[in-house]
């Protein structure tokens, strides 16, 4: 049985233990049985509205034993992170209880002074002036912090708007990406594992592939999904695919139940899949064109996105011209590259995208290099035998495939 295979259980609350403040079938009994077996339990919730003592009271009312230290809300995890960073003056968009949790961690809640951080949570009393003031403070230099990014939360009448809906409004208005604390991001799991021995056999149990399962796997933890039906993902590398699926917590004690062994892939989980293009351009001496990118300082082949309405042919000729000043024309397709281990790219903002890249061999129409210093710091032709050491990791493969002169395009 699964209960015997772990000694620490990080259990989501909404949709696993209770729904609309009522215990779900079997939850009380299963948790009591875990206690009886000496298991370590942590309760996690991405609901930023209640304080931990309010969650503790709710659990007691439905017959579940817990201590304050065992409860980790995204609001409390946010408070801990603010304290670690020294961001003590805060403007809060959220509940009174969220503000109280931040005060307990040493934060000063301000309505008038310029804050060091703006914290976006969730509350039914949030109105347009709150979001407007938050956007103004962020634009003026305050850090943009979100307790979580859940777009909705479950209820007996269906999904209801949650923090992510408010965060999206402020992000759209400011053009800035928030620091997100709650699941599936690492701060929440670090807070939950505080005081847990490093060699503990920990598992995450939750009802959301997109927060609980994804977050567990990003943190290197196995994950069990609570769902009435199995959830299937196309790729075995999908971080959202659970290692086991149970209909409720009592099935932790079903004999013969096992879980898949999770092995963290070599790539960061991408938030989006995008179309990309790359060019291998040789001059008359057989040297290859490289640019040193402004966003990360590394050398690479000219490459970029396909914009809406563009063909890949139009995209690569535009990218080469924008980045190096060269006018080129496409000769032929070298290959299409999609494997996430080489095609997942992390931006300085923290966003990760997986690219489906069409790589083309191109011919120069004219060879006068010039660049504006915005996207490209330098551009030059290099001998394939004497390339820069700090070349982007996926680009040597593209160049090798171009030099192979294979009769058909590669698919990698």
Taking the whole predicted model, whether its pTM rises above 0.85 is answered as yes
Q: What is the pLDDT of residue 412?
A: 96
- 398 close to 359: Cβ distance less than 8 angstroms: yes
| Biggest CA pair distance of the chain | 79
- 381 close to 288: Cβ distance less than 8 angstroms: yes
Give residue-wise pLDDT tens across range 245-261: 999 999 999 999 889 99
Overall CATH class of domain 272-411:
alpha beta
- Residue 168's SS3 state is helix
7 catalytic residue (yes or no) = no
Q: What is the pLDDT of residue 158?
A: 84
Sequence-separated (6 or more) residues with CB below 8 Å from residue 212: 12, 183, 184, 204, 205, 206, 223, 225
Q: What is the pLDDT of residue 295?
A: 82
212 catalytic residue (yes or no) = no
Segments of 217-347 assigned E as strands:
223-226, 244-246, 272-281, 288-293, 299-300, 303-305, 327-337, 344-346
Q: What is the pLDDT of residue 142?
A: 98
Sign of CA dihedral 182, 187, 191, 194: positive
Beta-bridge partner residues of 223? 204
Q: What is the pLDDT of residue 160?
A: 85
The residue length of the chain stands at 412
CATH number of 2-46+184-253: 3.40.50.1000
Residues in the chain, pLDDT under 50: none
Q: Give the C-alpha separation, 330 to 347, whole Å.
A: 28
Active-site residue, from 7, 14, 123, 401: 14
* Spans of all domains in the chain: 2-46+184-253, 75-180, 272-411
Q: Do domains 2-46+184-253 and 75-180 have the same CATH topology?
A: yes
Q: What is the DSSP letter of 209?
A: I
Superfamily the domain 75-180 falls into:
HAD superfamily/HAD-like (3.40.50.1000)
């Amino acid at each position: 049985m699964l209960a015997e295979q772990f000694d620490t259980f990080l259990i989501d609350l909404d949709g696993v233990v209770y729904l609309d403040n009522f215990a779900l079938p079997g939850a009380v009994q299963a948790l009591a049985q875990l206690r009886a077996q000496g298991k370590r339990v942590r309760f996690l919730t991405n609901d930023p509205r209640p304080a931990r003592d309010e969650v503790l009271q709710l659990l007691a009312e439905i017959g579940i034993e817990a201590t304050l230290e065992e409860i980790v809300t995204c609001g409390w995890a946010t408070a801990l992170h603010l304290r670690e960073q020294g961001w003590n003056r805060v403007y809060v968009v959220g509940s009174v209880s969220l503000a109280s949790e931040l005060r307990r961690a040493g934060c000063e809640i301000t309505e008038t002074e310029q804050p060091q951080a703006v914290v976006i949570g969730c509350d039914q009393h949030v109105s347009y002036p709150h979001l407007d003031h938050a956007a103004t403070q962020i634009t003026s230099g305050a850090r943009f912090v979100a307790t979580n990014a859940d777009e909705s939360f479950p209820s007996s009448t269906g999904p209801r708007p949650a923090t992510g809906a408010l965060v999206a409004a402020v992000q759209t208005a400011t053009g800035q990406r928030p620091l997100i604390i709650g699941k599936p991001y690492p701060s929440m799991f670090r807070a939950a594992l505080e005081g847990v021995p490093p060699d503990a056999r920990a598992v995450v149990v939750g009802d959301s592939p997109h927060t609980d399962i994804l977050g567990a796997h990003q943190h290197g933890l196995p994950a069990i999904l609570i769902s009435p039906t199995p959830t299937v993902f196309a790729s075995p590398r999908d971080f959202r695919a659970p290692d086991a699926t149970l209909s409720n917590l009592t099935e932790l004690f079903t004999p013969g139940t096992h879980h898949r062994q999770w092995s963290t892939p070599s790539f960061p989980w991408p938030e989006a899949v995008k179309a990309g293009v790359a060019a291998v351009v040789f001059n008359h001496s057989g040297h290859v064109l490289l640019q040193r990118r402004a966003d990360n300082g590394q050398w690479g082949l000219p490459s970029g996105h396909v914009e809406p309405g563009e063909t890949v042919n139009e995209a690569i000729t535009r990218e080469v011209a924008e980045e190096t000043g060269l006018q080129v024309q496409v000769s032929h397709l070298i290959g299409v590259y999609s494997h996430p281990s080489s095609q997942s790219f992390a931006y300085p903002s923290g966003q990760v995208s997986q690219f489906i890249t069409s790589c083309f061999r191109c011919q120069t129409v004219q060879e006068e290099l010039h660049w504006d210093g915005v996207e490209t710091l330098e551009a030059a032709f290099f001998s394939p035998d004497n390339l820069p050491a700090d070349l982007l990791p996926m680009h040597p493969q593209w160049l090798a495939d171009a030099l192979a002169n294979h009769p058909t395009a590669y698919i990698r």
